[in-house]
C-alpha cells in the first residue's frame, strides 16, 4: 500500500478497514494471555489509522494484507473466553492495531464485547485505541455505554508537531483523540489518556497535562514505557524519532 508522510489518517483508516475487514470478520494474527493489567486475554489484530515510529506491530500495520487470518466476532469471543477460562482471567482486550477504523470494524468489536459480557457480566473489557475515529465520529460514543467497558486512549504526542513526527499523520488531527476522551468522560464512560514517556521531557509531559486540563479531561496520564526491540529502534532511527529518556 503506497503511503506518503504525512498522510490523512481518516482516509487511511477507511482504506485499511477495507483491507482488514471482510463482511463482519477482521484480520487477527495471534491470541494470547498477557501480563498487563494483572493478566488479560488478548487478541492481536492488524491494521491502524496511524503508523507510529515506535510501533511493535509496524510491519503488519504497514502491509496488513500480507498477514493474519479473518475471524468472525463469534470466533474471536470464543477464543478469548476459552483462554480466560484456562488461565482464570476475567479481563479482555484487542490490541496490536486500531480496533475502530470505521463503522464496520466498530460493529465487529462491539459484537465481540457483548458476546463476552453475555458469558459473564462481571468480566471487564479494555478497548485500547488511538482515539482518532471516536474524536472524528463522536456519534459512535453512545454505543460504548456498556458496564465494565474501559477505554484507554493512547496520546501520540504532546503537541501537533510531535504527533505528526511520531504517527506519520497530519498534525491537524492532533486534537481528535483528546476530544474523544472528553466526550467519553462526558458520557460517564471510564476513559483515560496514556502516553509513551520515553520521547518527552518532564516539562513536556506537564505541558500535555495543561492541555488536558484546558480540554476538561479528568484524571492523570498513564505513563507507558517503550518496548525497545531492535527493529523498533531501527525504525525510529529511519523516521528520525529520538528518545529523550533511557528505555
Q: Where are the domains of the chain?
A: 9-239
What percentage of residues in the chain have a pLDDT greater than 70? Answer: 98
pLDDT of residue 46: 98
Whether a cis peptide bond, with omega within 30° of 0, leads into 6 is yes
Question: Which residues have a Cβ under 8 Å from the Cβ of 108 and sit 6 or more positions away?
Answer: 21, 24, 25, 26, 73
Q: Domain 9-239's class?
A: alpha beta
Give yes or no for residue 83 having a pLDDT over 70.
yes
Half-sphere exposure of 230 (CA within 13 A, CB side): 0
Distance CA 33, CA 43 (A): 9
pLDDT in tens, 150-173: 999 999 999 999 999 999 999 999
What's the pTM?
0.96
The average pLDDT across 48-65 equals 96
What percentage of residues in the chain have a pLDDT greater than 90? Answer: 96
Q: Which residue has the cell 471482510?
A: 22
Q: pLDDT class for 246, splitting at 50, 70, 90?
A: low
Give yes or no for residue 247 having a pLDDT over 50.
no
Q: Which residue has the cell 459512535?
A: 140
Give yes or no for residue 245 having a pLDDT over 90.
no
Give yes or no for residue 18 having a pLDDT over 90.
yes
pLDDT of residue 1: 53
Q: pLDDT class for 3, splitting at 50, 70, 90?
A: confident
Taking residue 111's Cβ as centre, other Cβ atoms within 10 Å add up to 16
pLDDT of residue 244: 86
pLDDT in tens, 184-231: 999 999 999 999 999 999 999 999 999 999 999 999 999 999 998 999
Amino acid at each position: 500500500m503506497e503511503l506518503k508522510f504525512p498522510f490523512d489518517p481518516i482516509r487511511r483508516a477507511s482504506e485499511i478497514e477495507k483491507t482488514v475487514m471482510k463482511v463482519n470478520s477482521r484480520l487477527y494474527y495471534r491470541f494470547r494471555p498477557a501480563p498487563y493489567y494483572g493478566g488479560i486475554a488478548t487478541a492481536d489484530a492488524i491494521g491502524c489509522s496511524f503508523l507510529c515510529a515506535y510501533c511493535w506491530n509496524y510491519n503488519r500495520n504497514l502491509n496488513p494484507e500480507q498477514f493474519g487470518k479473518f475471524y468472525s466476532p463469534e470466533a474471536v469471543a470464543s477464543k478469548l473466553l476459552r483462554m480466560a477460562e484456562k488461565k482464570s482471567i476475567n479481563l479482555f482486550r484487542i490490541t496490536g492495531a486500531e480496533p475502530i477504523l470505521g463503522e464496520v470494524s466498530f460493529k465487529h468489536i462491539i459484537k465481540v464485547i457483548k458476546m463476552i459480557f453475555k458469558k459473564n457480566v462481571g468480566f471487564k473489557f479494555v478497548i485500547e485505541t488511538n482515539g482518532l475515529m471516536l474524536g472524528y465520529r463522536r456519534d459512535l460514543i453512545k454505543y460504548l455505554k456498556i458496564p465494565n467497558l474501559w477505554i484507554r486512549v493512547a496520546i501520540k504526542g504532546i503537541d501537533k508537531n510531535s504527533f505528526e513526527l511520531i504517527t506519520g499523520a497530519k498534525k491537524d488531527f492532533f486534537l481528535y483523540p483528546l476530544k474523544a476522551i472528553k466526550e467519553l468522560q462526558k458520557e460517564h464512560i471510564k476513559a483515560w489518556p496514556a502516553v509513551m514517556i520515553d520521547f518527552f521531557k518532564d516539562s513536556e509531559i506537564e505541558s500535555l497535562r495543561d492541555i488536558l486540563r484546558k480540554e476538561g479531561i479528568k484524571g492523570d496520564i498513564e505513563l507507558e514505557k517503550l518496548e525497545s526491540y531492535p527493529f523498533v529502534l531501527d525504525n525510529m532511527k529511519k523516521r528520525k524519532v529520538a528518545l529523550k529518556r533511557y528505555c
